[in-house]
Amino acid sequence: MKKKLILVTWTLACLTLAPAAFAQTTDGSVLYTPNVNLTSLSQNSFVGYVGGIFLSTYSYYPEVNYLGYADPTGAPLVNSHVVSLWDHDNLGAGPLASVTVPAGSAAPLADGYRWVQLSSTVNLTYGHYYYIDAQVDNVDLWGDLISNNSPDNGNNGQITWGSQYVQLGSGWEFTRAGVYGGSDPATTQTSLSDSIYPAANLGFNVVPEPAGLSIAGVGAVVLFRLVLKRKS
């Protein structure tokens, strides 16, 4: 029985750790999390594209497989919205990734954003500039420009930045700023550093995979039964 318990535990550990051995970005990571209720802001009436520019961290090889659009009320979106990720130095090649977040509530809601999974994971270059933007329409609410105070280690104000996507620490505030424009990509930069227009977001494995949850659940049941059997 002891050998069986060790074998099951080892198998479950392999299933749990195997993905992490290949993915350097932690599940559930996002570019940023607003520290303010976006519905409490004066809603920006701009029609076009808004988002932000950011320098990727030097500490990871960031991975992205989800793009999201703000839905701070949790209500079904009235319209669909295009969300795109761009390489700052190679805009002519088109977006690195782009999705259409559908109207309604079909896209899963997590942390105030409606998420759409990419067909394949995008690997970002460390220490490199990227744009992220979303199409806004003055119908679905997303708030307005949010920012942090300087010096900022990552969450000194209205934003908590994801350490696996941006370079944190005092002195790096200038590497992040909101952008807006009438066309995609939005490249007109606001004068306020350490800021973003919080309509678009990105992340890695933001929505838990059903298969992963099933494996974890089955494993827990198996371990529980083995422990009970051993005690009896």
Residue-wise pLDDT for 93-151, tens only, equals: 999 999 999 999 999 999 999 999 999 999 999 999 999 999 999 999 999 999 999 99
Residues 149, 213, single domain; the answer is: no
Q: Give the integer Cα–Cα distance in Å for 63 and 165.
A: 8
Residues 94, 139, single domain; the answer is: yes
The SS3 assignment for 165 reads coil
Residues 82, 22, single domain; the answer is: no
Residue 225 has a pLDDT of: 54
Residue 95 has a pLDDT of: 98
Residues 126, 52, single domain; the answer is: yes
Domain that holds residue 36: 28-207
- The domain spanning residue 42 has which CATH number? 2.60.120
Q: How many CB atoms lie within 10 A of CB 209?
A: 12
pTM for the model:
0.81
Residues 71, 140, single domain; the answer is: yes
Residues 213, 196, single domain; the answer is: no
Residues 158, 46, single domain; the answer is: yes
Residues 77, 174, single domain; the answer is: yes
How many domains would you assign to the chain?
A: 2
CB of 138 within 8 A of CB of 45?
yes
Residues 114, 183, single domain; the answer is: yes
Residues 128, 227, single domain; the answer is: no
pLDDT in tens, the chain (232 residues): 554 444 444 444 444 433 333 347 999 999 999 999 999 999 999 999 999 999 999 988 899 999 999 999 999 999 999 999 999 999 999 999 999 999 999 999 999 999 999 999 999 999 999 999 999 999 999 999 999 999 999 999 999 999 999 999 999 999 999 999 999 999 999 999 999 999 999 999 999 866 444 444 434 433 345 444 555 4
CA 175 to chain CA centroid, Å, is: 18
Spatial neighbors of 162 by CB under 8 A, at least 6 apart, are: 29, 30, 31, 32, 33, 203
Residues 112, 221, single domain; the answer is: no
Measured CA to CA in angstroms, residue 229 lies from 1, 3, 203, 222, 223 at distances of 9, 14, 42, 11, 10
Residues 185, 72, single domain; the answer is: yes
Residue 60 has a pLDDT of: 84
